[in-house]
């Protein structure tokens, strides 16, 4: 199935603005992000040493922001657009 990953802010520098991927049916979010880093590198940007998605990475799918505890088991559907961005600060 086909999905896309869009990166914003400083993540765009590492991963590019948009990456289209073909993944297996029932692919989870972490698996898709591993596919992204397999293509683009920079695993340390998204993953902790234990292989989990870093808590500070903000992730949205279908306009819904996912909490860190929701990410590991999130199964993707064909056509999903994953948006990743670093924490936003400022005032």
Integer Cα distance of 58 and 49 in angstroms: 18
Integer Cα distance of 83 and 91 in angstroms: 23
Q: For the whole prediction, is pTM greater than 0.85?
A: yes
Which range marks the domain in which residue 11 is found? Answer: 2-85
Q: What is the DSSP string of 11-75?
A: HHHHH-SEEEEE--TT-BHHHHHHHHHHHH--HHHHB-TTSPBPTT-EEEETTEEEPHHHHTT-B
79 exposed, middle or buried (CB, 10 Å; 0-12, 13-18, 19+)?
exposed
Q: What is the CATH number of the domain that holds 73?
A: 3.10.20.30
Tens of pLDDT, residue by residue over 20-74, are 999 999 999 999 999 999 999 999 999 999 999 999 999 999 899 999 999 999 9
Tally the domains of the chain: 1
């Amino acid at each position: 199935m086909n999905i896309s990953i869009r990166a914003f802010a400083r993540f765009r520098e590492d991963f590019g603005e948009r990456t289209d991927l073909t993944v297996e049916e029932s692919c989870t979010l972490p698996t898709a992000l591993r596919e992204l880093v397999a293509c683009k590198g920079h695993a340390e940007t998204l993953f902790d040493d234990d292989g989990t998605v870093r808590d500070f990475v903000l992730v949205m799918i279908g306009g819904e922001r996912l909490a860190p505890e929701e990410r590991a088991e999130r199964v993707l559907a064909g056509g999903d657009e994953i948006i990743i961005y670093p924490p936003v600060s400022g005032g």
